[in-house]
Structure 1
């Protein structure tokens, strides 16, 4: 069983971006990884052909395009080059490649310019945001102008995890920098993507929900990575806490969320990709909150090597019939993503 697929969680690295990573100190790789993968359009197309992937929506992975804190000019340069490269690939292979454009956040003003340029000039399919942009999590009120524009443009927003940044202490992939999480040492024995990526995705989507940001922008479609990450484990707690005001708590107010309202948002505004270890176990937790119509295929190549991505795809194909009908499997592989992308085009 190998149905045609649209890959919503897959990446690319331009030669310029690779040099930018080195300039910013992300060597030998970002996020505690001991490598930066090789990538070429030809290799990507070969993976697609071998595994019946009809179309791939490319995006820039962590650490994004704002690589040196405070250097907004370099971030604008990296962002524009990265987006232009993807747009050229889409023009060359219009039926095979699309892309989610990067934004140079936390530089909000430049991001606002890039949104219009990416949609109107480059024909982007949507945007990729990181789980945090140098400590700016996605419910941050400073992002209000960005969300207003994305909502007005009915944009798709794919969120990719990155290294956590809690309070004023960030986890850096550069060993020469301070590697701390809220003042406590991070265990260097493990690469950040192993666990911290999932936790940071969960943190930022909880922020989107309890800040009221997602509900206030109903025309934005969000793609949650890695089958919801750890969200299913904390949603009951998030719902409960959102409905209580704590005396003396001077942080940003939370917005009450009912379970009915959350399920409605998930059913109309959120999609969940299956990149990573969604099966055989994780998906069962997510299916308590959504049905098959909110799921989409993701490979995470090249950061997940092609051979490993093929193994994960094989597991998906073995598990799908235990959970879904034939038509539902086809929807997950291709149909749901096709409807999402068409919604953006309309």
Structure 2
């Protein structure tokens, strides 16, 4: 198949870009003709440029620069020489054209039929306050084949938008990036978390749970990583080992320092840190956001209710007090959960979903 993926931006280190990179690479390995297309950045107005200069941030560039999870992957990709949206002139005729974000779905739906069966790879339910919520919701009612990365998203598409023909193609991880040898518990009880100030990521829940658990386990330690400076409004506990914007190849070592990884999200499309931690043999204590119920439910950690930092604290205490043998049993299940399903498996499922899209398109369902 000739398949065009339309991305809002592939020059970044966001988790969604990583997932798109790995999925397209493995689809290409299966013999498909893949092309990634994204627009140049939005051209700022003169007012926006002057505001940036006044704030000392310099002239805003419209170029896409920086590292990307596509670096090192031989997947064809282009940045078109104009700001959004992507139009017919930017993409070749193909069998399938794939939107990867709510805004790109608005572009894809307007493309000519010759550009391929229109599909929307849904990585999150993008209805956050900082987005135009009604526009984002309307995208999910567009006549195109949806593909979801978690059962939670499949259920939302069915229950909120009435679409019951949404294949599930879960994410997974690159075992060459995330791995660890078998090990025992840490000499000092240690938990870890990804630090984000964005409210729906739930870092505040994980931090409250840590402080509560520390009352019973005084030597409990915290490690964390993230891209942000720690905020005074969401301080990290004293003594936290914080790795800010660590090199990608070292993240596995952060996971590997921990007896448990905390996942406090209030909402999530998938929740990649769950699998990344598990691949590094670290059990996960998490809320039922994204794919957490399916992943943690296999026994490689503890699932706790949304917003319930007290239940998370109890799980921290439980895992910290486990015998080495008990902990290694949970660690083994976590590792198996992360490694039993591969990107080759995901690419095969995605291929079947694309064939469904082509068939439904031929039948006039879209």
Instruction: Tell me if both proteins adopt one fold, taking TM over 0.5 as the criterion.
Output: no
Structure with greater helix share of residues: 1
Give the TM-score normalised by the residue count of structure 2: 0.35
Which structure has the larger Rg over C-alpha atoms? 2
